[in-house]
């Protein structure tokens, strides 16, 4: 995964996105108009950043890909496992912005779908054969609920996508060395049979370091994706202040970056 510049923004681009001529990637915090501590490309309305700044930043992102701002779609994320499906032309996307879900799937070209993160993991999908795409927000609750295998199954049921044909990219998120969790998190994973022992290391009594990046990759492989079709960014959002917002590092007073994908027209 490499960092590329597009218009005023820079973002991390999966190798398969360039090969498939599909727009997909993960924004950095640079290239916008917001002031500290949201400097500068904050894309999240659910922050204390003035709304006009976020709207300007979203417009900058959309226009970097020659897109009108109203065709950039995010939802109201609630750390669940529900998915929004856009499977027919719909020029009015504004009413979807308040839908409570943590992933978007589509077969419609020309819509930039995205999820917002600041330590959680953004995951994007593309099926070059059925021309379908998806984007998913993965925090520990979504991981415990196995939202990624659910998204893979949904793409098969809705669009005929076969797991072995899907390409996926796991964007930057908080590294295990910075992500300590407690027993309720452990119990949620174990209750869902979500491979806790493969993704967490106990560091102290009742405290574990949780590797959400490894969890995402593991669940994608379990869902049937080929290892060579999965890319994962290695950067930790908590460690790279110059590139990424981090909820944990900045004690909640921070912006949001975006994982995004758009099918070509």
Is residue 89 packed enough to be buried (19+ CB in 10 Å), middle (13-18) or exposed (0-12)?
A: exposed
6 is written with which tokens? 């597009």
Instruction: State the DSSP H helix or E strand holding residue 218, giving kind and residue range, or none if neither.
Output: helix 212-222
pLDDT of residue 202 exceeding 80, the answer is yes
pLDDT at 115 over 80: yes
What are 54-86's pLDDT values in tens digits? 999 999 999 999 999 999 999 999 999 999 999
* Predicted pLDDT at 19: 79
Q: Which of 106, 109, 137 is nearest to 123 (CA)?
A: 137
* 17-55 pLDDT tens trace: 987 789 999 999 999 999 999 999 999 999 999 999 999
Judged on CB neighbours under 10 Å (0-12, 13-18, 19+), 71 is middle
Instruction: Read off the pLDDT band of 103 (50, 70, 90).
Output: very high
Q: Which two tokens stand for residue 214?
A: 């490894």
60 to 131, 142, 231: CA distances (angstroms): 26, 29, 26
Residue whose C-alpha is closest to residue 44's, from 259, 228, 225: 259
Tell me the CA distances in angstroms from 113 to 49, 207, 222, 263, one per residue in order: 22, 36, 25, 9
Contact 124, 171 (CB under 8 A): yes
pLDDT in tens, 149-181: 999 999 999 999 999 999 999 999 999 999 999
Beta-carbon contacts of residue 206 (< 8 Å; ≥ 6 apart):
182, 183
Nearest residue to 249 via CA among 3, 29, 4, 14: 29
Mean pLDDT score, 137-141: 97
Least-confidence region, from 75-79, 91-95, 146-150: 91-95
Q: What pLDDT shows up at residue 21? A: 84
Contact 209, 176 (CB under 8 A): yes
Say how far apart CA 51 and CA 240 lie, in whole Å.
Answer: 25
Separation CA 23–CA 142 (nearest Å): 25
Strand partners, 13: 2
pTM of the model: 0.96
For residues 9 and 138, what is the distance between their CA atoms, to the nearest angstrom?
24
Query: Is CATH 1.10.8.100 correct for 2-174+226-262?
Result: no
Place 94 in a pLDDT band, splitting at 50, 70 and 90: confident
How far apart, in whole angstroms, are the C-alpha atoms of residue 132 and residue 109?
9
Is the model's pLDDT at 105 over the cut of 90?
A: yes
pLDDT at position 192, please?
86
Q: Would you state the pLDDT for residue 61?
A: 98
Tell me, what's the pLDDT at 15? 94
Q: First-to-last CA distance in the chain?
A: 24
């Amino acid at each position: 995964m490499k960092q590329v510049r597009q218009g005023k923004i820079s973002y991390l681009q999966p190798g398969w996105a360039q090969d498939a001529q599909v727009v997909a990637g993960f924004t950095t915090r640079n290239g916008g108009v917001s002031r500290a501590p949201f400097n500068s490309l904050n894309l999240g309305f659910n922050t204390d950043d003035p709304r006009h700044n976020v709207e300007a930043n979203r417009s900058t992102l959309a226009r970097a890909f020659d897109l009108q701002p109203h065709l950039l779609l995010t939802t109201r994320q609630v750390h669940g496992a529900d998915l929004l499906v856009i499977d027919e032309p719909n020029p009015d996307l504004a009413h979807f912005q308040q839908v409570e879900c943590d992933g978007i799937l589509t077969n419609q070209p020309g819509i930039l779908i995205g999820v917002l993160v600041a330590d959680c993991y953004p995951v994007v999908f593309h099926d070059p054969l059925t021309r379908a795409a998806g984007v998913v927000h993965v925090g520990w609750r979504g991981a415990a609920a196995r939202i990624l295998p659910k998204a893979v199954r949904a793409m098969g049921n809705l669009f005929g996508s076969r797991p072995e044909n899907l390409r996926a990219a796991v964007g930057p998120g908080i590294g295990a060395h910075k992500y300590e969790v407690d027993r309720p998190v452990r119990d949620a994973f174990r209750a869902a049979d979500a491979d806790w022992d493969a993704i967490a290391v106990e560091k102290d009594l009742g405290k574990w370091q949780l590797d959400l990046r490894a969890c995402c990759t593991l669940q994608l492989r379990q869902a049937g994706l080929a290892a060579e079709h999965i890319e994962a960014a290695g950067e930790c959002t908590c460690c790279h202040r110059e590139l990424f917002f981090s909820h944990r590092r900045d004690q909640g007073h921070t912006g949001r970056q975006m994982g995004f994908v758009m099918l070509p027209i």
